[in-house]
Chain A
């Protein structure tokens, strides 16, 4: 009952709200500022691409948005929860229920089969009948025949499909992707991004994606630019959203 009202209340608020986000790391001699005063709001169901040069701070930003790390300054509010106010474990629980990930280097567990890799987050989130859902998802990404294969027996593109199936498995509210096609050739990358966009639309997930691939970025509802740790938004999108 309580949770229901919570969810409904959450529905009205933005999926992600970032204010005054600054991130610094201490190096041997001095401190390096990686992100500087980032403000950002992403609504439910939106798809957002973050583009920028290598070393500009994209991955760092993504990690902070997803609550994998905590910022030096500023706030990140993910699905109604202030991230830096949560303990590491609470953030983990939040991720288990609400967040999915797709990585450039796939990050499948080599010891587990494709099916088991997809089942893993379902089990961690305590979702019923994990195997059925995992099978369906692998079917959906076109790997129904490869359930028992381990990552080493799969090509890069196939591995990324497994990773996508895994990301959508626990029916996340928001999906973070860090250069999901970065390790793939053009054609394969194309089909993987098709899959990602399709599933995203089908499930109504909020998507935050870092990419170099301009075509993929263009398929997102909104593009953000980052340069030397400063986030800028091409005016049009912002204004229209307003």
Chain B
């Protein structure tokens, strides 16, 4: 069947504009979805692994009661195939030749760290190095500040209790260099097996046993299910996503990627549907002829099914051929941003959504109009028959909507997302139908004439079906693109606001009340002024409405905050980033009451007026709750669960002061001067944590930009597909107009006007629909606040009008450059 085969070959198809559009749309769809899925997967793993490195593992189990956990717990974990590791953290005095110093010790096992790396320096002047494990037995790695404080050198000995250890490395950064108030003193790191020989761990000394676990998520989850019933209140199971500073950002990034993916699916589907309908219409003559020549409906169905299958193969192969290099490039970009090599995670399972997209696009969007080719009347070869009215396309649309719904749902797994998107779309289409009806009834009155405006309006009316379809597609495309841009910018703004460049990156803790002023002067003279300095009193919440708090709060709601000392403070004014949710802030002069952080209040079930009793040392103070406020935990400033008014009961309690401030990288040496002058003040350096978080934000931002670019490219293809759908008709009309003596300039002006009008209306509708969708997404999913985006609302309709006018001009090109005779012949 050489001729018939040739008729159905892809290489021949490629010459057909509509098929080209279908194939390009398919390729883009597969490529976009595959790239997003692969990259999201990669990003997730990279992020989680860099997030995991905050814990030096995937999960940590902390025993704050100073006792190791039963060995069976670890055995069980190893039996389940998890990696385990151990550390012991405590504070102690270390002795050098010229003196002693309180240090915070981290003793680690050989496996440490399970995730992340340690940064060290072999000697003071040597470059920093990244290593994958901690010190061996007999060795100790120390914070550079300790060397200076004790006037020691690499190679010297340091005594920890009764054990002498050799200083072999400078410890610059540990992966889990967490932000813990307990780690105030300079850090040293030693081997866990050396701990017992130091003899410093006595019953009752403050020590924390920490166990590290790493492995696949489900295994970790199962293990936790097993472990949980055995945990005591002093045991704390920590995962990456709980309470981590950036977990919210990570989650939003994930959602954004999903959103982007879903929109790509939508756009591709639209392009495929439009182009294949166009293609089916153009195939009607061929089908009629084939029928006349004796091909049965079934044979025709088979021919086109085979062709569809070929398209599918081309789409998938082509899409992957685009996606894989793109993915490779993105990962390269990622490792550039991270300044470290990133492992490729090419998960074949991540390709499933891409394949699904190809299949659904083909069968739900491309196939229905093509299927109807079977019923094209053979009589068409003799006389033109009434064409498709568009009514036949209604079941197609229903199928398409169901398919889109299913696909987006399947892909994003977020019902809220699907509903807001489709809600936006339905709203859009409803408004569009209204506008279309209005347009048709207004335009009907316009009669043709020599005037470009009137010609343009007549053109809109004459192509009203195509115009409406185009408007729907443009508006939808614009809506999707605008939604993405809007969500992206508010997402990024949010992040930027969360961590500005001058975010505090150092804490000063333990400032004696009498040195507060001096310390403030010290830093402001050196150009690094302190943020607000807060008093800090350590105390326990012991009673609630005069009942012991452990009774008053049910067991489920046992809160970590109850197990340890809380940092209590007093403040005259509500910090900028706190927000009152209930009650009143302390009026000037008020000395009674306490303001509680909202989340804790929720967990304890506190109401305004509840009486809280705190035990501070041997004293007790009782205050009623007068307000409840939210706190920005990730602000990198001191935050407090409990705040009292100035001059209240707390003021007389023994306490120290705490603050945070921003110290530029180049000024780090000032810390030595400061430590010499105020040896009792602890400096907590969290600048590397901040850098890490900023890095992650940057990485996610890059990913989002890349995906956005992909999706916008897809949007442009959709637009081009739809514009070119009516190309032939318009060219024929243009040729006819010219044959009948229409001037070129008139033709150009009226066509451009017609498209500009279309673009403008579509732009307005698209932007409004986008705002609606953004509103829904923002408020419901990203928990943000909504505002109108004037910077987009105004320019987009104008831009889309301009863009479409240019598209119109561009497709007129052949009409203008060729003689009408040639054109009519070519379009025959």
Contact = CB atoms under 8 A, between A and B. Distances in A.
Tell me what chain B mostly uses at the interface: helix, strand, loop, or mixed: helix
B637 interface: no
B382 A89 contact: no
A111 B15 contact: yes
Interface string A73-103: 0000000000000001100111111010101
23 contacts: A63-B383, A68-B378, A68-B379, A68-B382, A89-B297, A92-B296, A92-B297, A92-B299, A92-B378, A107-B289, A109-B7, A109-B286, A111-B6, A111-B15, A112-B6, A116-B2, A116-B3, A116-B6, A119-B2, A120-B3, A124-B4, A124-B290, A124-B295
A124 B286 CA distance: 14
Given A59-B382, A103-B382, A112-B7, A123 B294 contact: no
B12 interface: yes
A44 to B, nearest CB: 20
A170 B295 CA distance: 13
Contact of A88 (B15, B290, B297): B297
Most buried by A among B292, B294, B297: B294
Interface in B263-299: 285-286, 289-299
Contacts of B290: 120, 124
B580 interface: no
Contacts of B1: 123
A123 B291 CA distance: 13
A171 interface: no
B381 A123 contact: no
A92 B2 contact: no
A123 B294 CA distance: 10
Nearest to B286: A109
A112 B286 CA distance: 11
A62 interface: yes
A137 to B, nearest CB: 14
A88 B298 CA distance: 10
Contacts of B12: 111
A97 B294 CA distance: 8
A131 interface: yes
A93 B383 CA distance: 22
A95 B292 contact: yes
A97 B295 CA distance: 11
B296 to A, nearest CB: 4
B49 to A, nearest CB: 54
Contacts of B293: 95-96, 101, 120-121, 124
Given A109-B289, A123-B4, A124-B4, A92 B294 contact: yes
Contacts of B292: 66, 68, 95, 101
A178 B2 contact: no
Interface string B344-384: 00000000000000000000000000000000011101110
Contact of B2 (A68, A107, A131): A131
Contacts of A228: none
A172 B826 CA distance: 32
A205 interface: no
Contacts of A213: none
A175 B3 CA distance: 22
Nearest to B380: A68
A89 B377 contact: no
Most buried by A among B3, B12, B299, B378: B3
Given A66-B292, A69-B377, A109-B7, 16 more contacts: A59-B383, A62-B382, A63-B382, A68-B378, A68-B379, A68-B382, A89-B298, A92-B378, A101-B381, A103-B381, A109-B289, A111-B12, A120-B293, A123-B4, A130-B3, A152-B826
Contact of A93 (B294, B377, B382): B294
A84 to B, nearest CB: 14
Nearest to B13: A111
A125 interface: yes
Contact of B377 (A68, A94, A131, A170): A68
Most buried by B among A99, A103, A107, A152: A107
Contacts of B3: 112, 116-117, 119-120, 123, 130
B518 to A, nearest CB: 90
Contacts of B294: 92-97, 99, 121, 124-125, 170
Contact of A63 (B6, B289, B379, B826): B379
Q: Which 6 A-B pairs have the closest CB atoms?
A: A96-B294, A116-B3, A89-B296, A68-B378, A119-B3, A95-B294
A111 B7 contact: yes
Chain B interface bracket (under 10, 10 to 19, 20 to 34, 35 or more): 20 to 34
A97 B296 CA distance: 12
Interface in A51-72: 59-60, 62-63, 66, 68-69
Contacts of A60: 383
Contacts of A69: 377-379
A152 B285 CA distance: 16
A59 B378 CA distance: 13
Interface in A131-180: 131, 152, 170, 178
A32 to B, nearest CB: 13
Contacts of A101: 292-293, 381
Nearest to A106: B828
Contacts of B4: 120, 123-124
B225 to A, nearest CB: 62
Contacts of B826: 152
Nearest to A121: B293
A122 B381 CA distance: 19
Contacts of B381: 68, 101, 103, 107
A88 B375 CA distance: 10
B799 to A, nearest CB: 38
Contacts of A119: 2-3
A62 B382 CA distance: 9
Contacts of B2: 116, 119, 123, 130-131
A68 B15 CA distance: 30
Contacts of A120: 3-4, 7, 290, 293
A239 B12 CA distance: 55
A63 B385 CA distance: 12
Contacts of A124: 4, 290, 293-295, 299
Contacts of A63: 379, 382-383
A147 to B, nearest CB: 12
A94 B295 CA distance: 10
Given A69-B377, A178-B382, A93 B296 contact: yes
B456 to A, nearest CB: 30
A60 B294 CA distance: 19
Nearest to A152: B826
A98 B299 CA distance: 18
Contacts of A93: 294, 296
B528 to A, nearest CB: 76
A94 B291 CA distance: 11
A131 B6 CA distance: 14
Interface in B372-402: 377-379, 381-383
Nearest to A126: B1
A214 to B, nearest CB: 22
Contacts of A112: 3, 6-7
Contacts of B297: 88-89, 92
B290 to A, nearest CB: 7
A56 to B, nearest CB: 13
A170 B293 CA distance: 10
A35 to B, nearest CB: 14
A109 B291 CA distance: 13
A63 B7 CA distance: 25
A185 to B, nearest CB: 16
Given A107-B289, A116-B6, A96 B383 contact: no
Contacts of A152: 826
Contacts of B295: 92, 96, 124
Contacts of A66: 292
